[in-house]
Structure 1
Amino acid sequence: MPDSILIQRQAGITTLTLNRAQVHNAFDDTLIAELTAALLDCDRDAGVRAVVLTGAGASFSAGADLNWMRGMVDASEQANREDSLRLAALMRTLNFLSKPTIARVNGSAYGGGVGLVACCDIAIGVDGAKFALSEVKLGLVPAVISPYVIAAIGQRQARRLFINGEVFDAVTAARIGLLHECVAPDQLDAAVERSLHFLAKGGPLAQHEAKQLALRTGGMTIESCERCDRDNAALIARLRVSAEGQQGLAAFLDKRAPPWVR
């Protein structure tokens, strides 16, 4: 069975590739654990100057894995809270990584996949990619990714997209701040290389401090995110075991409309 994460190191650049193309790089417990561990290794390695995060196949990440979601239906509120905290720790690790990070968004991103994009310092995506924060369609909310998505696109856009769950394109993603660049597929690698070229000109310590300066000035610290993560994990756990959440998850897994859809 292939590893959930492929790791490639070259000239100070570590590329982490989500390697579950058969399920559009959807999250499960293994992917979350392996990606968190890989990011922590990059953080500790003085030889790593930058990290590129991308997906195998046609998608960046479809969010939650179908089998993982089946497990949510029967899990207790406590188990759901612990599950959410692991995902929250992944997002927090990526967001506060001491090295510059680039999201190479090779295809569509949904739910938690949008969270990964928002947590990266630089996000470059192909013009055919689609995005959605569609959790409300399941009777849920994008809880643990919310601090990072709101920091990327602002509260006004987040309110709209959190509530209506609509699919939006890469041009819109760039306009609202989720992507920094929207390029043709054959230009994606060149655009990433341009960003890496400019990153190579900066001092590693200065880049680390510049990143922390931007986060701190914007009101985001590890401590504030840890507090927020606990609250958000409790929220999503409560919603998953609620009547509406159970109905929404069951409807999604059965490929039918939930009862609130008229």
Structure 2
Amino acid sequence: MSFEHILYDIKARVATITLHRPEKRNALNGAMVAELQTAFKQAEEDTAVKVIVLKGSGEAFCAGADLEYLQQLQKNTRAENLADSRELMRLMQQIYYHEKVVIAQVEGHAIAGGCGLVTLCDLSYAVPEAKLGYTEVKIGFIPALVSVFLVRKIGEGRAKDLLLTGRLIPAAKAEEYGLLNQVVPAAEIAAYVAGIADDLCNGASANSLKVTKKLIAGILDQPLEEALEQAAQMNADTREHIDCQRGIKAFLAREKMSW
């Protein structure tokens, strides 16, 4: 399938989704959100894909909402704005609950909705020059949807710091806060992320990655006892899966497992 606002490519079981509006600093609009939904769905259904890398074209990762898009929102009815918000909500849920591991490769600034995309990814790596932040309060808006995921990721205190001040922070501070996994020099980040993706593709069971993501996502939604019971059930289910049986057999035989 061809896209207008993103690029989609598969190589060595890694699907790369690239925000591709460099002249607009990869700003989000309704059309791009719809294309991202389609691309992530396509990657989830494709058995040839095991890992997804999300990145941006040009100098920015994503500058947030497109100016023309913001202007249109002012003309919308409440019903239209609610419907539009729910489309963005569905994209966020889609990325957060995706069955495949999603890695953000941040080679430029990630602002507002762009930083929201980074928040949703399972693993995130950025160049030192990148700045990240949620600037919505500075234009009278609120970072409503992303707040649900950000509090989970970095805790209430740090989330308040970023969401209430709207300040941009350097990549090193974002790493300190837990928003990024690591800061990597610009000359090395592509190879570094490719290495992480390759390790996931060849060093881990697809089923184990999927179930581990589901386990982590559900932990905070339940009381401790219910979370533990669900974990026990998933543990038992996984033991019966062919991936686990093959992996244990190879381990006991001291053979290298090829996933």
TM-score, with length taken from structure 1: 0.81
Counterparts of 2:93 and 2:23, CA distance in 1: 27
Counterparts of 1:50 and 1:218, CA distance in 2: 24
Code of the aligned partner of 1:207: L
Counterparts of 1:160 and 1:33, CA distance in 2: 31
- The aligned residue for residue 183 of structure 2 is 182
- State the 1:190 CA deviation: 2.1
Code of the aligned partner of 1:43: E
Counterparts of 1:97 and 1:47, CA distance in 2: 15
Question: 72-81 or 101-110: which moved more?
Answer: 72-81
List aligned pairs for 1:230-249, cutoff 5 A: none
- The aligned residue for residue 119 of structure 2 is 118
- The aligned residue for residue 140 of structure 1 is 141
- State the 1:177 CA deviation: 0.8
- The aligned residue for residue 39 of structure 1 is 40
Counterparts of 2:221 and 2:128, CA distance in 1: 31
- The aligned residue for residue 7 of structure 1 is 8
Code of the aligned partner of 2:215: L
- State the 1:25 CA deviation: 0.5
Contact (CA 8 Å) 2:151, 2:159: kept in 1 or not?
yes
- The aligned residue for residue 204 of structure 2 is 202
- The aligned residue for residue 102 of structure 2 is 101
List aligned pairs for 1:26-65, cutoff 5 A: 26-65=27-66
Code of the aligned partner of 1:147: V
- State the 1:52 CA deviation: 0.4
Q: Which has the higher contact order (CA 8 A, sep 6+)?
A: 1
Code of the aligned partner of 1:36: Q
Counterparts of 1:18 and 1:59, CA distance in 2: 10
- State the 1:48 CA deviation: 0.6
Counterparts of 1:136 and 1:100, CA distance in 2: 31
Counterparts of 1:10 and 1:186, CA distance in 2: 21
List aligned pairs for 1:149-188, cutoff 5 A: 149-188=150-189
Report how many aligned residue pairs link the two structures: 220
Contact (CA 8 Å) 2:3, 2:35: kept in 1 or not?
no
The share of aligned pairs that are identical, in percent, is 32
- State the 1:219 CA deviation: 2.6
Contact (CA 8 Å) 1:114, 1:149: kept in 2 or not?
no
Counterparts of 2:221 and 2:58, CA distance in 1: 36
Partner of 2:188, secondary structure, is helix
Counterparts of 1:42 and 1:148, CA distance in 2: 22
Counterparts of 1:114 and 1:176, CA distance in 2: 14
Counterparts of 1:45 and 1:9, CA distance in 2: 10
- State the 1:162 CA deviation: 1.0
Question: 23-32 or 71-80: which moved more?
Answer: 71-80
Code of the aligned partner of 1:129: A
Q: Between Structure 1 and Structure 2, whose CA radius of gyration is higher?
A: 2
Partner of 2:54, secondary structure, is strand
The reply on whether 1:130 has 2:117 as its aligned counterpart is no
- The aligned residue for residue 17 of structure 1 is 18
Structure 2 gap ranges (5+):
223-259
- State the 1:83 CA deviation: 0.9
Partner of 1:144, secondary structure, is helix
Counterparts of 2:194 and 2:35, CA distance in 1: 25
Of 213, 218, 221 in structure 2, the residue corresponding to residue 219 of structure 1 is 221
- State the 1:2 CA deviation: 7.2
Contact (CA 8 Å) 1:19, 1:25: kept in 2 or not?
yes
- The aligned residue for residue 241 of structure 1 is none
- State the 1:184 CA deviation: 1.0
Moved over 4 A (4+): none
Counterparts of 1:126 and 1:98, CA distance in 2: 27
Code of the aligned partner of 1:205: N
Structure 1 gap ranges (5+):
221-262
- State the 1:54 CA deviation: 0.2
- The aligned residue for residue 68 of structure 2 is 67
